[in-house]
Chain A
């Protein structure tokens, strides 16, 4: 594998754009536009097509990172972006009302892709009031018959994003 395409998905505000910006070696490509709905109380801009960034691993392997829009109305972009993808990072935001439902929604919508690839889950913003325990996320995964690496991360930190990518690459190498 000299070039690897990885997909980062998750609900709006989970940190997909931030994660790519935190780790990309080149200025990230963004398609942010102004939010005009309820989301505007949380963030001024949202991704409507894709984010893109790239990194080079120690062995010279290039990793291309594609961030999806989070909203379900952009589901068509999810299908476009997973084409040729080798792995999926799902970011979940614990400050949202129902992060476990978010996990189930992304597992269901990316199920075809998940069946043939590796997945890593990043749990973000766990510092708020009553976030679900990590165990609840594992139980949620297990109830769908799946087990994926899962990490609590601060997506603004380059090292945390690198952890997710390293774990995903390891998963892919192990399974191929």
Chain B
């Protein structure tokens, strides 16, 4: 199957950004870029997690967030946060075809997680074609 794939240069840039994100907080332990239709493209996981399954799930949850926002007449969904007993998962759109998801423990400040994720998304969006 033909899938969306980064060039070597883009993959290297992503890994550089992922490394910066991971070094900004040791609570962050997973960063994933996937397509809007649920295929994994790039990742840096400090734990063993199923990237392909998570990619499909992130695609579903972001699409639901966007649909719910539209139904509630709140216009554009900026991000979706799943808050769990053991951590957070923040998912946001990256350009029109990709999704960035950041997975962290509860030790992270939610505002900090948000800021790190948004800044990374802006840098990635400016670089990725």
Residues on A facing B (Cβ under 8 Å): 29-39, 46, 48-50, 69, 71, 73-74, 76-77
Contact = CB atoms under 8 A, between A and B. Distances in A.
B96 A48 contact: no
B67 A37 contact: no
B37 A76 contact: no
A77 B97 CA distance: 21
Interface string B1-38: 11110000000000000000000000000000001111
Contacts of A38: 1-2
Given A38-B1, A76-B57, A33 B39 contact: no
Contacts, number: 67
B63 A48 contact: yes
Contacts of B67: 29-31, 49
10 contacts: A31-B64, A33-B63, A34-B36, A35-B37, A37-B39, A38-B1, A48-B60, A49-B67, A73-B55, A77-B60
Interface in B45-99: 52-53, 55-57, 59-61, 63-64, 66-67, 71, 96-97
A48 B37 contact: yes
Nearest to B70: A29
Nearest to A29: B67
Name the interface size band of chain B.
20 to 34
B63 A36 contact: no
Contacts of A74: 38, 56, 60
A34 B63 CA distance: 11
Interface of B: 1-4, 35-39, 52-53, 55-57, 59-61, 63-64, 66-67, 71, 96-97
Nearest to B96: A34
Given A36-B37, A49-B61, 4 more contacts: A29-B67, A31-B66, A37-B37, A49-B67
Contacts of A39: 37
B60 A36 contact: no
A77 B61 CA distance: 10
A31 B2 contact: no
Q: Which 6 A-B pairs have the closest CB atoms?
A: A31-B63, A33-B36, A49-B60, A36-B4, A36-B35, A73-B56
Given A48-B63, A74-B56, A29 B3 contact: no
